[in-house]
Amino acid sequence: MTPSFITVEHTSKSFNKEAIFSNLSFTLNKGDILSIVGPSGSGKTTLLRCLAGLESFSTGKFLINGKNVTALEANKRPVSLVFQHPLLFPHMTIQENVAYGLAFQRRKKKERLRHAQELINQVGLTGYEKSFPYELSGGQQQRVSLARSLAISPNLLLLDEPFSSLDVRLRNEMRTWVRQLLKDQEITAIFVTHDKEEAMQMGDYVGVFENGQFQQIGEPEHVYHSPANAFVADFFGDHLLVDQETFIPVQSLFLSRSKPKQVGSVWEGIMKNKLHVHGHSLYQVFIEDLNQHVTVSSSINLTIDEPIYVSAHPDSVQTFTNQQQRNG
């Protein structure tokens, strides 16, 4: 078995005895992209800062390509970080911004500028070399920021919610585009977000993070369809949580005005909201017995606050996998 390119072993971090995360372990192969998704305050940004070397791990080991980098300072680690905001130096041109990190690698100026130009071309900003950051749009600025982080040829690229300051349309474009770029260049990356769609779109694997723990790591489709526990089902999937052990995938639910017979599970609900996505009518229904909102597709024409039955066939009730971590 070939050793993993990135190995994080039993790491933990605490501030003033308060644990931010503990006993975290995962591995990545070269070129893998891992999306870490979780609610705000779950500790995912701290994990990223520890990986970047901006904070130190309280315990554990971090290896890149077999080399232990746990004790290395941020500026000595082969890791670079793309921040939430582009943080371009406003007084430098785009080319100077992209070439910035190369100066610390003692490369000659001519070579630095040539390499920066290559990256500017790769991120589709040819012609903007001599422009200043304020002349670029938010999306373009974030692309420059990405180019700058890629310029130093890091072994691991960390991205901390880099699209959160962009508008929805631009965000969607950037996701597809950045993923393609990372894949084309075989860059190993960890992408942090609080948006589950973004996590699914960006990662080869997703890690659902809460309470300083990975609740589940796996391929997006697997985590979506087979959540390990109630938190993952609620946060990452579209499921109706029946109890702490079982759930029903939302596509197995149907709505009816009269109470259906010969069906295992039936709940009374109230229609709260209606939306239209990809040609389907979706209804947001509140089920008082379960104290949950669930969004179900239906062809019935419902009005707001109308009572409705939500039902599912007994076969569709599933049990959480409780699978904790991805191996290899």
Partner 1 sequence: MKLSETNKAWILLTPALLFLSLPAYGLFSAIWTSLHENGSFTTKHYRTLFQQETFWESIGYSVRITLLSTVLSLVLGLLITRAFSPFIQSTKGKLSIWLPMLFPHFVWGYIVLLLFEQSGLISHLLVEMGLISSTSSFPIITNDQNGIGIILTYVGKETPFVVLMLLPIYAKQQDGYKDLVQTLGGGKWAAFKDAEWPWVSPVLLEAGIILFAFILSAYEVPFLLGATFPEMISVLTYDWFYSGDWNERPLAFAAMIITSVLIGIMSFIAFSAMNRKRMLLTKGQG
Please give the residue ranges that form the binding site for partner 1 (CB under 8 A).
49, 52-54, 73-76, 79-81, 83, 85-91, 100-101, 104-105, 132-134, 148-149, 152
Beta bridge partners of 11: 24
Comparison of 88 and 233: residue with beta carbon closer to partner 1? 88
Tally Cβ neighbours within 10 Å of residue 176: 11
Beta bridge partners of 80: 157
Residue 206 per-residue DSSP state: E
Q: What is the rounded CA–CA span in Å between residue 3 and residue 1?
A: 6
CB of residue 163 to partner 1, shortest distance in Å: 15
Is residue 53 a contact partner of residue 64, using CB atoms and an 8 Å limit?
no
Q: Which residue has the tokens 């970080």?
A: 81
Structure-block tokens of residue 73 = 């300072």
Q: What is the rounded CA–CA span in Å between residue 105 and residue 145?
A: 18
Comparison of 77 and 239: residue with beta carbon closer to partner 1? 77
CB of residue 52 to partner 1, shortest distance in Å: 5
Comparison of 112 and 196: residue with beta carbon closer to partner 1? 112
Comparison of 90 and 328: residue with beta carbon closer to partner 1? 90
CA atoms within 13 A on the CB side of 186: 3
Comparison of 49 and 171: residue with beta carbon closer to partner 1? 49
CB of residue 142 to partner 1, shortest distance in Å: 11
CB of residue 185 to partner 1, shortest distance in Å: 18
Q: What is the rounded CA–CA span in Å between residue 27 and residue 7?
A: 5
Considering only CA atoms, which of 153, 208, 152, 154 is closest in space to residue 34? Answer: 208
Is residue 191 a contact partner of residue 209, using CB atoms and an 8 Å limit?
no
CB of residue 256 to partner 1, shortest distance in Å: 52
CB of residue 91 to partner 1, shortest distance in Å: 5
Q: What is the rounded CA–CA span in Å between residue 100 and residue 116?
A: 9
Comparison of 156 and 271: residue with beta carbon closer to partner 1? 156
Q: How many residues does the chain have?
A: 328
Position 290, amino acid: L
Comparison of 107 and 274: residue with beta carbon closer to partner 1? 107
CB of residue 298 to partner 1, shortest distance in Å: 44
